[in-house]
Amino acid sequence: MKITEIKILKVNSFMYVKIFTDDGLTGLGECGTWGFLDAAAEAVETFKSYLIGQNPLDIEHHWQYMYRSFHFRGAAVMGALSAIDIALWDIAGKHYNAPIYQLIGGKCRDKIRVYYHVGGATIEEIVSSCKKAKELGYTAVGHLSPFLDEPRTVPYFETGVQRINRAVDRVRLMREAVGDDVDLCLELHRRMNPGEAITFAHAVEKYNPFFLEDPIKPDNFDAMALIANRINIPIATGERIHTIQEFEMLLSRNAVNYVRTSVCLCGGITGTKKIAAIAEAHDTLIVPHNPLSPVSTVACLHIAAAVENFAVQELPDHSGPAATDRYVFDKSENVKALKQSDIVTKIPVVTNGFIALPEGPGLGLDLTENVEEIFPYKRRKVHTRLNTDGSICDQ
């Protein structure tokens, strides 16, 4: 079997890679470099010159060849490699007539716990969404920002004491809304410095958050370790990094308790499985990062099925636009006509906060016909929130 063609499919806010073979099998993968999909697409174009004519089943060799062929790495390159890797595993599953998780070790569980995306520009919106998630049967909610998902067009300012006290009180309201029946996964979106993060963590500890995600910019592993070693709430981080070496450095510093692997960014199925093994050696669990489309979700589910040290899976609402649209840009900029469920042939079904293991060979889903024409591609805008003094506000 040989690879005959590789197509790049740009759909609304997503980018997919579809690989074709001479025996009729195709594979689908998604790129996680969501802010720079055009750059990742060019990386795929470069990798094409190597992949055409190759046996798609030599996945590990192709991964190493692409990763080590040049002197450069980075998010665009890794997003491209991840999409290709997922597509190759999709082909392998179809070739062997088995779900991907069966090819990477078999199942470690019978169903997969998920947490529901919750957001809002006001605490009233967030609390309402938390209650809705509980009514739907979810036992965990995430993307919970104690600092709110306010529009990026609104300049930000709070005093230090307001910043801490208001955020803590919002978490109190979230906890009161769901009781002890729902875990709260707090997403701080890099809004604090280390000192603030430590103060906030001690103040919010009594509400027992499941974890604090990215309280500071995650670039400095030592700073994250400083926080992790001075608080009593688990730290979740990792969505912005993409090599096994970076994750090892993060883990060796005891800087993380829940590893946020971005399957469509950190090397696809191949890369994520290796990162999970490193995390297991450190007695640490993974929480796959997933703000993308149902293709990403299903790729994550195969990892969740086969990895023993899995905790919970992030699940965006696939009935609307991308999570990266809903929470990054003004609501008026969203494409209201888009339902992610229209992009693919099927989406996972949640029952009482769990999803059944993926069915069918390979990934178990495909894109719908003519999806590029139905939902034309749109380039991401550069849109960063500012503080009232004009400086950058991380959100």
Question: Per-residue pLDDT tens for 263-304?
Answer: 999 999 999 999 999 999 999 999 999 999 999 999 999 999
pLDDT tens track, the chain, 395 positions: 999 999 999 999 999 999 999 999 999 999 999 999 999 999 999 999 999 999 999 999 999 999 999 988 899 999 999 999 999 999 999 999 999 999 999 999 999 999 999 988 999 999 999 999 999 999 999 999 999 989 889 999 999 999 999 999 999 999 999 999 999 999 999 999 999 999 999 999 999 999 999 999 999 999 999 999 999 999 999 999 999 999 999 999 999 999 999 999 999 999 999 999 999 999 999 999 999 999 999 999 999 999 999 999 999 988 877 766 665 554 455 445 678 889 999 999 999 999 999 999 999 999 999 999 988 998 888 889 999 999 999 98
- Structure tokens, 125: 């919106």
CATH superfamily of 103-363: Enolase-like C-terminal domain (3.20.20.120)
Contact 130, 97 (CB under 8 A): no
Residue ranges with strand state E in 242-312: 258-259, 285-286
- Structure tokens, 303: 């990892």
The contacts of residue 219 (CB under 8 Å, 6+ apart) are 240
Query: Residue 388 is which amino acid?
Result: T
**Coil, strand or helix: which one is 197?**
helix
- What residues does 185 pair with on adjacent strands? 211
Strands 183-187 and 26-30: unpaired
Q: Is the dihedral of CA 151, 152, 156, 162 positive or negative?
A: positive
Place of tokens 């099925």: 305
Report residue 159 CA to chain centroid gap: 32
318 a catalytic residue: no
Looking at the domain 3-97, which fold is it? Enolase-like; domain 1 (3.30.390)
DSSP label at 331?
A: G
Contact 268, 299 (CB under 8 A): yes
Catalytic residue among 62, 289, 302, 318: 289
62 a catalytic residue: no
Catalytic residue among 95, 117, 143, 189: 189
Contact 140, 114 (CB under 8 A): yes
Alpha carbon distance, N-terminus to C-terminus of the chain? 47
Domain ranges, ordered by start, for the chain: 3-97, 103-363
Strands 350-351 and 354-356: antiparallel
DSSP label at 338?
A: -
